[in-house]
Amino acid sequence: MAWFRNWRRARILKKYPLPEAAWREACARLPLLHGLSTAEMVRLRVLTTLFMRRKSFSPVKGVSLDLKRRLTIAIQACLPILELDIDYYNGWTEIIVYPESFVVMRDLPDASGIVELRHDVLSGEAWSNGPVILSWCDVRHDSYRIRPGHNVVIHEFAHKLDMLNGRANGMPPLHPNMPIEAWTQALTRAYNTLTRQLEHHRRPWINAYAATNPAEFFAVLSESFFTDPVHLKHHEPDVYEQFVRFYHQNPLLRTGAWP
């Protein structure tokens, strides 16, 4: 029913266009968009328009979430799916936004297997079939200048892509022309390199949080792919290649236009 889907999308785009001034202002503040072609910006605007209609923002604890802030989140959420499709974010609707980092309590087994209640302070979280949760303070910190290797919006939405084929495990649904073995080999090798570096107390080039598990590894490497492609390609060329094939993008080509 592609015709019906296209008709519905065309209707949304016509009926609920993004206000021109707000769109321009939001884009102008996001250096990650520098280097995108005119055609890519048009595509990003279409995706963002659909995203804004499909998703609901729930501000909590008094955070103010005006259109500019919602667009800051939506536009960056749509960057990873620029060459995929808005349907990659199907199956959930809510984006909960806290003013600052938030605390979650969860039961987790410690090294000896004893379950203990842990308090984690988070800047973002993505639930399977549920909401994406973000701290506005962290979003703002990562959005208005490029922080190589850090972007909480891209991180949480990478988890959403990973969750499309079940529990987050570091492997989103690959395209038919992508052999699973090539993905697994590239990411496993890079993951092992990172854990070895940490075991030997060597400072890794990437955020050490990536070593938490394969799901976090994929999310953190996705942050690097979009915000620090030079180093990702230099240190893990095979992973970079796999990400180019999955995201259908080559952010390295944009870096010349970055501030």
- Nearest distance from C-beta of residue 164 to Zn ion, angstroms: 15
Strand partners, 118: 106
Instruction: Using only the alpha carbons of the chain, give its radius of gyration.
Output: 18
Q: Record the tokens describing residue 29, joined without a space.
A: 């503040």
Query: Judged by CB, which is closer to Zn ion: 23, or 217?
Result: 217
Query: Judged by CB, which is closer to Zn ion: 48, or 151?
Result: 151
Using CB under 5 A as the criterion, what x/- string covers residues 159-198 for binding Zn ion?
Answer: ----------------------------------------
Q: Which residues inside 199-228 make contact with Zn ion, applying CB under 5 A? A: 216, 219
Count of residues in contact with Zn ion, rule CB under 5 A: 2
The strand ranges marked E within 26-158 are: 56-59, 94-98, 102-109, 115-122, 124-126, 132-135
Query: Judged by CB, which is closer to Zn ion: 78, or 126?
Result: 126
Question: Of 85, 89, 79, which Cα lies nearest the Cα of 36?
Answer: 79
Q: Is there a contact between 220 and 149 (Cβ–Cβ < 8 Å)?
A: yes
Query: Judged by CB, which is closer to Zn ion: 18, or 168?
Result: 168
Q: How far apart are CA 241 and CA 243, in angstroms?
A: 5
Question: Of 154, 210, 161, which Cα lies nearest the Cα of 32?
Answer: 154
- Of all residues in the shown chain, the one whose CB is closest to Zn ion is 219
- Nearest distance from C-beta of residue 90 to Zn ion, angstroms: 20
Query: Judged by CB, which is closer to Zn ion: 44, or 172?
Result: 172
- Nearest distance from C-beta of residue 152 to Zn ion, angstroms: 9
- Nearest distance from C-beta of residue 130 to Zn ion, angstroms: 14
End-to-end CA distance of the chain: 43
Q: Which residues bind Zn ion (CB under 5 A)?
A: 216, 219
